[in-house]
A and B are shown apart, each in its own frame.
Chain A
């Protein structure tokens, strides 16, 4: 018998937690892309100026 006690999330709570998790994931992904783009933009043409 499972006698563990604790909070059991309702379906609605699970759905909302999932929505928040997806939003945080998308935000973090967008943030990585954002930092990559501004890094390239800040470096400008200098990004290509290196010994190959």
Chain B
């Protein structure tokens, strides 16, 4: 066996960037930005940008912790076997050595730049994702992504706390929207990839409760999510354009979930699940884009002298 010290790293900078799960990071940046934008009061753009960067790096660090812990699972799943650790380009120790200073640094920077409430929330999110979800829930219960979804739901709340210094109704509502969105989104993927998850020994809902129960639960969560996504309008922090987007895209979401519920066999079932998985990303993006656009519209109009 080659002694550990004799191993020469073949990692490229891109491998370390991949450890941070850039696609997840971009969604975190987007939802956190919306959280920043809905926070009441004046915003210093430089400090807002710095806060956003700290939140993004914190999310990246938790992604790297996740990859270090999940290397055994990633190695047997087709979707993930090319990640830097299972592919052998980065060791788990290197990934941990990469993630730890990023996690500590991002929390410290957010604390200094914004406030320690936001920094505390970011630290809790990293801990929740890297330890509670990755090490414990993911391998032990079919409710893994339901409870673990909280980790992905925190960023808008962190964004709001970073700018306003407190957690308001808007942050909580945005948290709940992402929280309710997570099960239909991931279970649609789990329906398609259930063989992969079974091979890796991850107790996803279709493997534990069966596909029929998963389809029913997807529909149920969607029927709760879509009306709830109208709450920003009801509570007054979103306008009519958001309402229109939430209604139309919400109907699309219900239709996709209904098709998943109805199409149970063969290629049609697979297609419906993929469609819901893809559309759920578009749905969440549209909701947050509409909120963000409304927040940015008023100052832009003022700036251009149109209002």
Residues of A within 8 A of B (CB): 7, 9, 12-13, 16-17, 19-20, 22-23, 34, 37-38, 41-42, 44
Contact = CB atoms under 8 A, between A and B. Distances in A.
B46 A37 contact: yes
A14 B78 CA distance: 31
A38 B12 contact: no
Contact of B9 (A20, A22, A34, A37): A20
Contacts of B46: 37-38, 41
A12 B109 CA distance: 36
Contacts of B8: 7, 9, 13, 17
Contact of A20 (B13, B50, B109, B112): B13
A16 B12 contact: yes
A23 B9 CA distance: 15
Given A7-B6, A41-B44, A42-B113, A19 B13 contact: yes
B47 A16 contact: no
A37 B109 CA distance: 13
12 contacts: A7-B6, A16-B9, A17-B9, A20-B11, A20-B12, A23-B13, A23-B16, A34-B50, A37-B46, A38-B109, A41-B47, A41-B50
B10 interface: yes
Nearest to A24: B13
Chain A interface mostly: helix
A12 B8 CA distance: 11
Contact of B12 (A7, A19, A41): A19
Contacts of A9: 8
Given A19-B12, A20-B11, A41-B47, 12 more contacts: A7-B8, A13-B9, A16-B9, A20-B9, A20-B13, A23-B13, A38-B112, A38-B113, A41-B44, A41-B50, A42-B47, A44-B44
Interface in B17-74: 44, 46-47, 50, 53
A10 to B, nearest CB: 8
Contacts of A16: 9-12
Residue of A7, A34, A38 with most chain B CB atoms under a 10 A cut-off:
A38
Contacts of A13: 8-10
A22 to B, nearest CB: 8
Kindly list the 7 A-B residue pairs having the minimum CB-CB distance in the complex, ordered from nearest.
A23-B13, A41-B46, A38-B50, A13-B8, A16-B12, A19-B12, A41-B47
